[in-house]
Structure 1
Amino acid sequence: MKKMFGVIGDPIAHSMSPAMHNDLFALYDIDASYLPFRVLKDDLEDAVKGLKALGASGFNVTIPHKTKIMPLLDKIDPLAEAIGAVNTVKNENGLFTGYNTDGPGFVKGLEGHAADFKERSALIIGAGGAARAIYFSMAKAGVKRIDIFNRTLEKAEELVATCPYQVQSRILDRANAERLLGEYQLIIQTTSIGMVPEVDISPLSLGNLSSQALVSDIIYNPLKTKILKDAALNEAATQNGIDMFVYQGAIAFEKWTGIFPDTQRMKANVLRHLGGFSC
Structure 2
Amino acid sequence: MEINGRTGFFCLIGSPVGHSGSPAMYNYSFQKTEQDYVYLAFDVDLDKTEEAVSALKALGCKGVNVTMPCKTKVAELADELSDAAELIGACNTVVVKDGKLHGHNTDGIGFVRNLKEHGADVKDKVITVMGAGGAATAIQVQAALEGAKKIYIFNCKDKFYANAENTARKIENKVPGVTVEVYPLEDSQKLYEKIKESDILVNATKSGMKPAEDESLIKDVSVFQPDFVVADAVYNPRETKLIREAKAAGCKIALGGIGMLLWQGEAAFRIFTGESMPTEEVYERFFRG
Length-normalised TM-score, structure 1: 0.92
CA RMSD of aligned residues (A): 1.7
User: Does the residue aligned with 1:104 lie in a helix, a strand or coil?
Assistant: helix
Farther off after superposition, 73-82 or 221-230 = 73-82
The 8 Å contact of residues 185 and 210 in structure 1, kept in 2 or not, is answered as: no
Farther off after superposition, 19-28 or 180-189 = 180-189
Q: Does 1:165 align with 2:165?
A: no
Structure 1 partner of 2:3: none
Structure 2 partner of 1:191: 205
Structure 2 partner of 1:250: 266
**Structure 1, gaps ≥5 residues long:** none
Residue 165 of structure 1 aligns with an amino acid whose one-letter code is: V
C-alpha distance in structure 2 between counterparts of 1:226 and 1:244, whole Å? 18
Structure 1 partner of 2:257: 241
Residue 28 of structure 1 aligns with an amino acid whose one-letter code is: T
CA deviation map 1:11-41 (0-9, x unaligned): 1112111111111100011111111111112
C-alpha distance in structure 1 between counterparts of 2:102 and 2:73, whole Å? 14
Q: What's the offset of the Cα at 1:140?
A: 0.9
Q: Does 1:81 align with 2:91?
A: no
| TM superposition outliers: structure 1 runs of 4+ over 6 Å | none
The 8 Å contact of residues 223 and 240 in structure 1, kept in 2 or not, is answered as: yes
CA deviation map 1:204-231 (0-9, x unaligned): 3233222221110111111011111121
Farther off after superposition, 252-261 or 112-121 = 112-121
Q: What's the offset of the Cα at 1:116?
A: 4.1
The 8 Å contact of residues 122 and 143 in structure 2, kept in 1 or not, is answered as: no
What percentage of residue pairs aligned between the two structures are identical? 38
Length-normalised TM-score, structure 2: 0.89
1:31-46 to structure 2, matched below 5 A, reads 31-46=36-51
Select which of 145, 153, 172 maps to 2:150.
145
C-alpha distance in structure 1 between counterparts of 2:282 and 2:234, whole Å? 17
Structure 2 partner of 1:59: 64
Q: What's the offset of the Cα at 1:158?
A: 2.1
Q: Does 1:134 align with 2:148?
A: no
Kindly tell me the number of residue pairs found equivalent between the two proteins. Answer: 273
Q: Does 1:229 align with 2:244?
A: yes
- Distance of aligned partners of 1:190 and 1:52 in 2 relative to their CA distance in 1, 3 Å threshold: same
Structure 2 partner of 1:18: 23
- Distance of aligned partners of 1:121 and 1:71 in 2 relative to their CA distance in 1, 3 Å threshold: closer
CA deviation map 1:98-150 (0-9, x unaligned): 11111122111211123343233211111122111111111111111111111
- Distance of aligned partners of 1:249 and 1:235 in 2 relative to their CA distance in 1, 3 Å threshold: same
The 8 Å contact of residues 136 and 165 in structure 1, kept in 2 or not, is answered as: no
**Structure 2, gaps ≥5 residues long:** 1-5
Q: Does 1:261 align with 2:272?
A: no
